């Protein structure tokens, strides 16, 4: 098998040894196959909502000769019963889709379940959901893959509301100390700056413009601007 993309490699590296893994939205199943080949996980279930990607996953599992990856069809985490996985990976989807998947699974509200989340877009929607539903983002790992910057969120249910700065949804726990972190925060800053500027010229949108300006201040502080 060719090497994992940097995005999947970062997730692979964070999977605890001996984990019971569920890869939700597996598509090609490259990550489950790499985990199985490395003998890193105790069990691996690869799920997808669509039959076609799951068929691709089965073909790859056979092609790369790993017998320990089980495949299941279904929406989100619904094919996995409580206790079957302690590490749930949801990567390569929009933040809104990941939010939908998490909101439909009550058993992940357990500090013993480790969530590894990697949104392609809409990370702020996901962070807002996590914070209001008492999940804690313990760490974020910003990364570059094919010229684009993403963040992998390492998350657990804490049951406690964290007091987070205004604008946290856009920065998460990414710091500007690494090149990837700086690029991530600069990307988010540009989006917020564009929103604040457009809104400031529209009558009746003053409150929204102020909201984005507050977020901009938070990102500026993190970036030392």
Ligand X SMILES: C[S@@+](CC[C@H](N)C(=O)[O-])C[C@H]1O[C@@H](n2cnc3c(N)ncnc32)[C@H](O)[C@@H]1O
- Residue closest to ligand X (Cβ): 92
155 closest CA partner among 85, 108, 101, 92: 108
Six-digit token pair at 216? 């901009």
Nearest distance in Å: CB 24, ligand X? 5
Q: Which is nearer to ligand X, 50 or 139 (CB)?
A: 50
In degrees, rounded to 5, the angle at the alpha carbon of residue 162 between the alpha carbons of residues 156 and 167 is: 105
Which residues have C-beta within 8 Å of that of residue 207, sequence separation ≥ 6? none
Cβ 26 to ligand X shortest distance, Å: 6
Q: Please identify, using beta-carbon distances, which residue of 92 and 172 lies nearer to ligand X.
A: 92
Q: How far is the CB of 48 from ligand X (least distance, A)?
A: 5
Q: Which residue, 105 or 223, has its beta carbon nearer to ligand X?
A: 105
Three-state DSSP state, 45: strand
Q: To the nearest 10°, the Cα dihedral for 83, 110, 35, 58?
A: 60
Q: How far apart are CA 62 and CA 56, in angstroms?
A: 10
| Least distance to ligand X, CB of residue 161, Å | 27
Q: Which residues bind ligand X (CB under 6 A)?
A: 8, 24-27, 47-50, 53, 75-76, 91-93, 97, 101
Nearer to ligand X, 5 or 158 (CB): 5
């Amino acid at each position: 098998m060719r090497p994992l993309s940097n995005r999947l490699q970062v997730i692979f590296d964070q999977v605890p040894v001996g984990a019971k893994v569920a890869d939700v939205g597996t598509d090609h199943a490259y990550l489950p196959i790499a985990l199985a080949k490395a003998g890193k996980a105790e069990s691996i279930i690869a799920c997808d909502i669509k039959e076609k990607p799951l068929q691709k996953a089965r073909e790859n599992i056979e092609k790369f000769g790993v017998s320990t990856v089980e495949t299941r069809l279904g929406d989100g985490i619904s094919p996995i019963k409580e206790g079957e996985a302690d590490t749930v990976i949801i990567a390569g989807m929009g933040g809104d889709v990941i939010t939908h998947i998490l909101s439909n699974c009550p058993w992940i509200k357990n500090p013993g379940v480790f969530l590894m989340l990697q949104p392609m877009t809409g990370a702020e929607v996901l962070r807002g959901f996590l914070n209001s539903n008492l999940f804690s983002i313990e760490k974020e790992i910003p990364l570059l893959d094919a010229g684009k910057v993403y963040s992998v969120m390492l998350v657990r249910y804490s049951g406690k509301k964290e007091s987070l700065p205004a604008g946290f949804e856009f920065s998460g726990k990414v710091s500007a100390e690494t090149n990837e972190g700086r690029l991530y925060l600069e990307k988010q800053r540009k989006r917020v700056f564009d929103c604040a500027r457009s809104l400031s010229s529209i009558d009746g949108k003053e409150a929204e413009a102020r909201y984005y300006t507050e977020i901009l201040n938070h990102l500026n502080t993190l970036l030392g601007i």
